[in-house]
Amino acid sequence: MAATRMVVIGGDAAGMTAASQARRRKGPDELSIVAFERGRYTSYSACGIPYWTGGEVDGPDALVARTPAEHRERGIDLRLGTEAVEIDLDRRRVRTRAVGDGTYEWTGFDHLVVATGAVPRRPAAEDVPGIDADGVYGVQTLDDGEAVLDGLGRDGVRRAVVVGAGYIGVEMAEAMLRRGLDVTVVDRADQPMGTLDPDMGALVREAMEGMGIAVEFGAAVREIRAGDDGRVRAVVTDRAEHPADIVILGLGVAPDTRLAREAGLPLGEHGGLLTDFSQRVRGHDGIWAGGDCAEVFNLVSGDTEHVPLGTHANKHGLVIGTNIGGGYATFPGVVGTAVSKVCELEIGRTGLTESRATAAGLRYATATIESTGRAGYYPGAALMTVKMIAELGSGRLLGVQIVGREGAGKRVDVAAVALTAGMTVERMTSLDLGYAPPFSPVWDPVLVAARKTAGKLRE
């Protein structure tokens, strides 16, 4: 009997994890696996680009978890430089175009994995004239990382402007600082890190200014000015003109679902593919989707949303590969956990912000506390701010945001577990968390926040 064929579109986290996991479960006699990737790399860590461009880690090879050759050795027919251009659901086949010579080919499938990722948001030239000037970079792929490093290597590059102050923007601001540049961050929002409440975003902003990063918030970029040589010279906002020798765009991403949409696969309100818990595209047997091109279920709000993070993409891939490989696995959803940092400032968040809780129709109390991350007398004890949000009535934890120095960011994981378990903040107050002076005060900051929030709920 001929082997079943699995076709994967997209050779990074979700796609190649799915392919590898399916291969682990089924040999080539049972399952043939073809993976199409339009770029040059597979299984790469875009997450490492800020640290590579900042000079802290090597790249690009060090950022590749598994090379094309390693995938091929494991019996995956990986086709680099090959772009999928059409999905024919009726005849169960995918049309591809070779990036090099432009030749087209059809490949049939029994199982199709759509793992096309996301596309970075980039304003159109009619909205922001000059956006295509030489020296303006997005940061999505390892090729982008190489382009940024080339840009940094040019003569006279002293001033960087980062447009967009989400987590990629602030991480790239740090990278530019590490390269010794004068750095300005602009964003049309009033505070950086839109995934935090504004009061917590304000702490990030203050810390960024303290690090010597110039900021302009609440102002949209209107134009990017270039010199006669076509190279970027300045970023012009509603209120100011910021001189720039290099511009980094960190404006967020949207799910890359053009192929899926044209094929008639179901998309959610955030533009991502809709799947069931097994990562099967809703209503389509044998069609699977995961990673940044798919929407996820939020276990706290009960909504689907687009959360483009590598942590989810890898888990989706594992679930898809297990299911195609004859096993059973599900991805239940996310609670919205993310960590990031700008220089020594760590930022963690999980669950709902105040605005998200309000949008979900939830009434809540909040409490914000300041505490050190170690016993106050222990060397290096530094402050962190913890904000906790809990539902009125039930007392259920809804969300936590933490901004502070060493040890702040990953503390949010405790709250992520509490959210997943559906704990009340009252129950959290007696959690058995580890304590020793180098790691925590005797009352961990998360416990202090839980006690204060529980007190507010009792009022």
Ligand X SMILES: Cc1cc2nc3c(=O)[nH]c(=O)nc-3n(C[C@H](O)[C@H](O)[C@H](O)COP(=O)(O)OP(=O)(O)OC[C@H]3O[C@@H](n4cnc5c(N)ncnc54)[C@H](O)[C@@H]3O)c2cc1C
Residues 207-226 as x/- pattern, contact with ligand X by CB under 6 A: --------------------
Least Å distance, CB 256 to ligand X, is 6
37 binds ligand X (CB under 6 A): yes
* Residue matched to tokens 């199982």: 111
Least Å distance, CB 359 to ligand X, is 24
For 144-153, the CB contacts below 8 A with 24+ separation are: 144/49, 145/49, 145/52, 145/53, 145/59, 145/60, 145/63, 146/60, 148/49, 148/53, 148/246, 148/248, 149/52, 149/53, 151/246, 152/53, 152/179, 152/181, 152/246
Q: Which two tokens stand for residue 251?
A: 């404006």
307 binds ligand X (CB under 6 A): no
Name the H helices within 300-442. 310-324, 354-359, 412-420, 425-428
Q: What CA–CA distance (Å, rounded) separates 335 from 300? A: 6
10 binds ligand X (CB under 6 A): yes
Please identify, using beta-carbon distances, which residue of 11 and 348 lies nearer to ligand X. Answer: 11
Choose the stretch contacting ligand X; rule: CB under 6 A; options: 31-39, 104-112, 156-164, 261-269.
Answer: 31-39
From candidates 22, 33, 87, 115, binder to ligand X by CB under 6 A: 115
From candidates 12, 216, 354, 391, binder to ligand X by CB under 6 A: 12
Least Å distance, CB 282 to ligand X, is 18
295 binds ligand X (CB under 6 A): no
256 binds ligand X (CB under 6 A): yes
**Which residues ranging from 379 to 418 are in contact with ligand X (CB under 6 A)?**
none
Q: What CA–CA distance (Å, rounded) separates 51 from 266? A: 36
Residue 9: strand pairing partners: 36, 114
Least Å distance, CB 262 to ligand X, is 11
From candidates 248, 313, 352, 416, binder to ligand X by CB under 6 A: 313
Q: What CA–CA distance (Å, rounded) separates 47 from 393? A: 40
259 binds ligand X (CB under 6 A): yes
From candidates 32, 116, 279, 322, binder to ligand X by CB under 6 A: 116
Choose the stretch contacting ligand X; rule: CB under 6 A; options: 8-16, 121-129, 179-187, 419-427.
Answer: 8-16
Q: What CA–CA distance (Å, rounded) separates 162 from 46? A: 18
15 binds ligand X (CB under 6 A): yes
Residue 99 near residue 39, CB atoms below 8 Å: no
Can you list the positions of beta strands (E) in 338-445?
Answer: 338-342, 345-351, 364-372, 383-391, 397-404
Residue 170 near residue 185, CB atoms below 8 Å: yes
107 binds ligand X (CB under 6 A): no
Residue 233 near residue 227, CB atoms below 8 Å: yes
Amino acid (1-letter code) at residue 347: I
Please identify, using beta-carbon distances, which residue of 245 and 256 lies nearer to ligand X. Answer: 256
Please identify, using beta-carbon distances, which residue of 257 and 372 lies nearer to ligand X. Answer: 257
State the helix-helix crossing angle for 310-324 and 13-25, rounded to 10 degrees: 30
From candidates 7, 8, 13, 165, binder to ligand X by CB under 6 A: 13
Least Å distance, CB 329 to ligand X, is 17
Choose the stretch contacting ligand X; rule: CB under 6 A; options: 4-12, 191-199, 225-233, 263-271.
Answer: 4-12
83 binds ligand X (CB under 6 A): yes
User: What are the φ and ψ backbone dihedral angles of 396, each rounded to 5 degrees?
Assistant: -65, 135
From candidates 54, 60, 117, 336, binder to ligand X by CB under 6 A: 117
**Which residues ranging from 45 to 64 are in contact with ligand X (CB under 6 A)?**
46-47, 49-50
273 binds ligand X (CB under 6 A): no
Choose the stretch contacting ligand X; rule: CB under 6 A; options: 115-123, 223-231, 232-240, 320-328.
Answer: 115-123
- Name every residue whose Cβ is closer than 8 Å to that of residue 352 and which is 6 or more positions away in sequence: 300, 301, 336, 360, 362, 389, 398, 399
Q: How many CB atoms lie within 10 A of CB 65?
A: 15
Q: What CA–CA distance (Å, rounded) separates 6 from 113? A: 8
**Which residues ranging from 157 to 176 are in contact with ligand X (CB under 6 A)?**
168
Adjacency order of strands within the sheet including 77-80: 77-80, 31-37, 4-9, 111-114, 287-289
Q: What CA–CA distance (Å, rounded) separates 294 from 118? A: 9
**Does 343 participate in catalysis according to the annotation?**
no
Please identify, using beta-carbon distances, which residue of 192 and 395 lies nearer to ligand X. Answer: 192
* Residue from 47, 119, 219, 375 carrying the catalytic annotation: 47
- Residues forming the site for ligand X (CB under 6 A): 9-15, 36-39, 46-47, 49-50, 83-84, 115-118, 139-140, 168, 256, 259, 291-292, 308-311, 313
User: Which residues are marked as active site?
Assistant: 47
